[in-house]
Structure 1
């Protein structure tokens, strides 16, 4: 900014250059005092007197400076401050608490200079004091916040330890349950097979004259089939649980089209019976980062479900497609079947033994297996469905 012309400048008030030094000392924005080498106060300004609530005659030549300090401050003054002052002739930015006349305390920051006589002997100590009440409040608040953060960190560490222990316990329980389910399904398989064989022989050798017998026989056979399917599914679940999640180094990349063609071929009899069609659009993503066994299993479950839950009176049309989204592969299986009410059943979709069309035979294991297989590969499953129109499963895998 340019300097204004002289005729625009106000005249200088010479009184401003004639300040009273005594007034400057008494009314300075900081505390001043002077004391003898033994601490006896010989001079003190009005600012400090007002801070402390004392009269001048109460302090000068009657008290030592160290008497204004707390017990701890007095000990520090005598053992640290005085030796430092004698050694260096000055001490800077030392924090003390002064005791006011009413018993309260005033936090201050002290600077001091030792003046010596012509013989080098200590003559007087000049002390400057700054009120740091607000600064002390801020520091105390920081200390409280730090303490709170440390306590929260300790609480978090304890919570993490507890979660670790709980996870270890859950892992052990899951392993025990896996062993139990595997043993139970293995031990039940042979008795069920024996029952099926005995019943088949009974049908072959024994007539059933009762007209309702045929229906009961079919019900018994369906129950046996259902039990065997459940046992097989439980065994498959346990085997899946025991599979190790592959590391990046062990990650398998499998060609998509051959696996899809294999699954389609296995399901062709059901497809032809329903006069349906599988439509493939896989050129955009020739390979997927998942094991061949997992891909085969999840495709078989999804495609067989598309046929199993076809809409009555409408030939199933199942589209299997793959594309990239932000560089990550997405495999989609879309059908025109019965669909599901996701608002009602969405949260239970991938749980064990959950079935939403009880009139259709099934075990309720297929979607659970699909979800677990995809999660093991590091991906996730997205589902969209409309009752009476069809369902889309999006298998989103990592890059």
Structure 2
């Protein structure tokens, strides 16, 4: 070949290379460029550079010695071909390429240089990597969602179960099911019949099925599952069955529990025993249940639509309620109750349709929607008129007893020997002529003891404390004005578990001028509201009053001198003689038969429930005992009614408070925890509308699908949480991997991460997992990472770093960002408060940090923050 032909051929080659659609370079033996294609310049980002004549190694300084050695081999006649390899560029980026390097010849046997044919396959590798990642996510999602696949080959009579399906059935990995054994896993009866009919229908007519069934696993556990199936046909004959299989036990149990709770709430609302009235935010009544109709005499049609305060409530009580609420909360009554999640319980006077006034106990609370806005009020009322009547009667009788104490010149006292504190009844202050504001000790009492009796009193008290028994004590006292009185002390000594004296409780009676007291006593006896029977030591009736005659049906002449056992039922009379002897051996004021039910018998033989108080009296005739006997027939009836009403009210209150708490928790957690994934969906939808290539649309659709799956899982988890909280007060703890939870959080927030370009890093090597409530921990991650994105700085790319570890034996979690930061000096005291916001962000609600603090503290942990404005914030969580 002539030199001219060679040069012409070389020129043609250069033109061919420069116009080639792929990346081709032609180099001489010194590895200097002779020609390059436009694709070569584009692939290796050499636009605007001088290439021809330049050394290949100058333009690619990152080429190592191993590649240079291969080039030398090619210059000696070798061919170097590689389908793919990473090429680390000088700027640190990785470029995946393939190449075909071979020599070109000037003439036969003479090598003129190298031809390099390469291709940039980095985009394909990235897509492959992303596809593998999505497949991995899909596998994990199926595992988390407890969703598997199955297939039945009717030709070969073989069944395939995916690992998740085997796991749901709780069988061994090598278990090989058949169509019969698979169906036999379903609970005998309705579930087994339904799956059998569904399979037969697919095979016979090709109708697919989607059913929820109860299944008994190989380990005997009963669970709910969802089975979806379809058929494949050849020449009209079903040859294959296939479908999906999912564990829906938690969701199904939650649904059943929720239906039960709704039924119970409906039963409560329709109850006649309790009036339930609700209003809208304008105070207009919109619900009036059967109990309210029964209580007030109005029909629901008459009341619904009316203004609440002006129908059956006294306006002065409404105004008093408003004033109380304003004084307590400093704002409108229902706003105060709603913001503090409280309710008000008080007595109201309701006016029935016929004008009758009744006393009711009403629980008032605000009704809020999912956004925490007040949309009405709830009023739950029950009639307590009978209870109030009994209370008033008991109060009146107590006042009568206090009056009787004053008339009898008896006072009661308590002496705490440990603190030396003494308490006197009002009448005892009067006996000693001391102001009731006076601070009392034992020395206060002892200062009144007559000088001539001090030694006797000291010895008596000391002996009583040693023997733990206080005999009656009669001595004189000298008042401040010089008046001398005779008093009689009766006492009971109380000891602790160690036998040490801790307290003395007793009575003190002024017995000055005994004869005058006896005359007065007779008048007191007749005026006493209770039946009074005075018995001597022999058990014979010494005196009775008119109330005793009325109670027992005997005249005084018929009873005086008779044995007191005439008034006691025969079944108890024998024991009573022994009790009477014991009392006279150690007479002291006390209630008879404390803790027991006592009965008397009247002249007609009728048994009467009674209360008896015994008081000894020292007279010239010896010790007498005064028995105050009270007919408690009506009180017993009232007590039974009160107890029954109290039990019913307590049961109802507990149910109502529990239901309200669950509804409030479920509403608040649902509204907050669903906001982030819904917002993320909006962001992804925005990106989806902007992209133009089908490839990007597919990628974004996969992200949308992932977020929807997480949203579904969140809803199922929240429903499950409601069921768990209803049936079990204890939180369910499970082992949770921080890395998996971090991946899930980033997927939920992927739209926001893409939009902001946020860089999120994490390090869980020092504490990879923790046993915790899954719902709470997911909410904590979502709140803290979501806040870091929400309150990012406008001046820099968001950077978030999440780490875990153990410090001083305590497990911790830290979330650090470079966002706007918080002025802790100004807002630190309310950082974790409910409805507290610190930035002008349109989505700020002031609930996230409050919920996070509540969820952390629910497991004995704590949360704190370190922050600097315009620098960033670190939240520190210490687990218990």
Same fold (TM over 0.5): no
TM-score where L is the length of structure 2: 0.20
TM-score where L is the length of structure 1: 0.41
Instruction: Point out the structure with the larger helix share.
Output: 1
